[in-house]
């Protein structure tokens, strides 16, 4: 089966995803790039195609338009403005919500029946808008959520303890933004809770580091993109490989009518289910805070309901 993936928005994030896809043995057979800047897309396609001689698998890569979405399995949206130094993700809401309506309706008009995967910030709000504008089932609309924050957390805990990040069982949950948090009561190194290894102050320091990672990177190099590129590949593989893998994507929370980062099971249907997390009272309050922030942001946008 020729698994076709479309990238809309071929800037730092879109192209880091494309390059990471090319460097991993995925089962993506066809990759189509769409951007307002058609010239850039042509250049990117040439550059990627020149990697094929040394790539682990063959991918058919070409520039495209919205008609190409018709028979795609996944449409990844990474179009729109990114944060300037000092800007929060929520500050992007007006710029990015405007372009999403035309992008999502154009994709749907093509006859697309696959899965939307959103990377644009403010992530949870843009994922919600994609769901609203598409009219798709909630399971078919996914945001990268706190997958990147979770990867950052695993790395930092692993570094501190000298353990491979893959053996750190931890999730960042909530908004992909300033109100995200780590439910430490659920974080394990191997089989043992993190509290056996690190003090409360050390955990707070790690949480701050995770939360502020994007700001620090943006201050130093203007944008963040490799990390999210890898997260998008991981999510793509979970979907195309029908993996039933748990990733903290932004998925639909029917109780609050929002999208938010929660460990969710992913397979070829999209989000199979969200995983219930046992939280302490303090963690429940933090989760509610994230819900309130996202809800308030959605209520502020002027979109056709």
Q: What is the binding site for ligand NAD (CB under 6 A)? A: 8-14, 35-37, 78-83, 92, 96, 99, 103, 119-121, 123, 144, 148, 176, 223-225, 228
- Do the beta carbons of residue 198 and residue 167 sit within 8 Å? no
Q: Which is nearer to ligand NAD, 41 or 189 (CB)?
A: 41
Establish whether 207 is a catalytic residue: no
Cβ distance to ligand NAD smaller for residue 11 or 174 = 11
Closest CA to 17 of 136, 148, 125: 148
The catalytically annotated residue of 50, 169, 176, 207 is 176
Name the packing angle between helices 213-221 and 200-211 (round to 10°).
50
Do the Cβ atoms of 129 and 105 come closer than 8 Å?
no
What DSSP assignment string belongs to 226-261? HHHHHHHHHHHHHHHTT--EEEEEEEEETTTTEEEE
The bridge status of strand 141-143 relative to strand 168-169 is unpaired
If the CB atoms of residues 92 and 260 are measured against ligand NAD, the closer one turns out to be 92
Rounded distance between C-alpha atoms, residue 276 and residue 219, angstroms = 36
As measured in angstroms, the least distance from the Cβ of 118 to ligand NAD is 8
- Measured from the CB of residue 282, what is the shortest distance to ligand NAD in angstroms? 26
Q: Find the residue with minimal CB distance to ligand NAD.
A: 11
Give the nearest distance from C-beta 208 to ligand NAD in angstroms. Answer: 18
User: Which strands, in side-by-side order, build the sheet including 245-253?
Assistant: 60-63, 28-34, 3-8, 74-77, 115-118, 141-143, 245-253, 258-267, 270-274
Please say which residue, 120 or 290, places its beta carbon nearer to ligand NAD.
120
Closest CA to 249 of 236, 241, 218: 236
Q: How far apart are CA 85 and CA 217, in angstroms?
A: 9
Q: What's the distance, Cα to Cα, between the start and end of the chain in Å?
A: 37
CB of 283 to ligand NAD, least distance (A): 22
The least distance separating ligand NAD from the CB of residue 96, rounded to whole angstroms, comes to: 6
| Residue among 148 and 266 whose Cβ is closer to ligand NAD | 148
Q: Hey, which residues are catalytic here?
A: 176
């Amino acid at each position: 089966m020729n698994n076709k993936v479309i990238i809309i928005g071929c800037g730092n994030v879109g192209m880091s995803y494309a390059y990471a896809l090319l460097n991993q043995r995925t089962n993506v057979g066809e990759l189509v790039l769409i951007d307002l800047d058609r010239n850039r897309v042509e250049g990117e396609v040439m550059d990627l195609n020149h990697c094929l001689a040394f790539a682990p698998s063959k991918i058919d890569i070409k520039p495209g338009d919205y008609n190409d979405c018709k028979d795609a399995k996944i449409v990844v949206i990474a179009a729109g403005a990114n944060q300037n130094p000092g800007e929060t993700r929520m500050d992007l809401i007006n710029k990015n919500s405007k372009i999403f309506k035309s992008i999502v309706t154009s994709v749907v008009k093509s006859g697309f029946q696959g899965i939307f995967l959103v990377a644009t910030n403010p992530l949870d709000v843009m994922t919600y808008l994609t769901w609203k504008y598409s009219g798709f089932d909630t399971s078919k609309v996914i945001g990268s959520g706190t997958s990147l924050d979770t990867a950052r957390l695993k790395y930092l805990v692993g570094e501190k303890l000298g353990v491979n990040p893959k053996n750190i069982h931890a999730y960042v949950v909530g908004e992909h933004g300033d109100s995200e948090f780590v439910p430490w009561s659920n974080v394990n190194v191997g089989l043992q809770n993190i509290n056996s290894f690190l003090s409360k102050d050390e955990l707070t320091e790690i949480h701050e580091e995770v939360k502020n990672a994007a700001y620090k990177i943006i201050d130093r190099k203007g944008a963040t993109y490799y990390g999210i590129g890898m997260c998008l590949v991981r999510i793509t593989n979970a979907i195309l490989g029908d993996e039933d893998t748990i990733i903290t994507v932004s998925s639909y929370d029917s109780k609050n009518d929002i999208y938010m980062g929660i460990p969710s099971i992913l397979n070829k249907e999209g989000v199979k289910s969200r995983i219930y997390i046992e939280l302490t009272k303090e963690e429940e309050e933090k989760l509610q805070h994230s819900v309130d922030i996202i809800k308030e942001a959605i209520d502020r946008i002027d979109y056709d309901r």
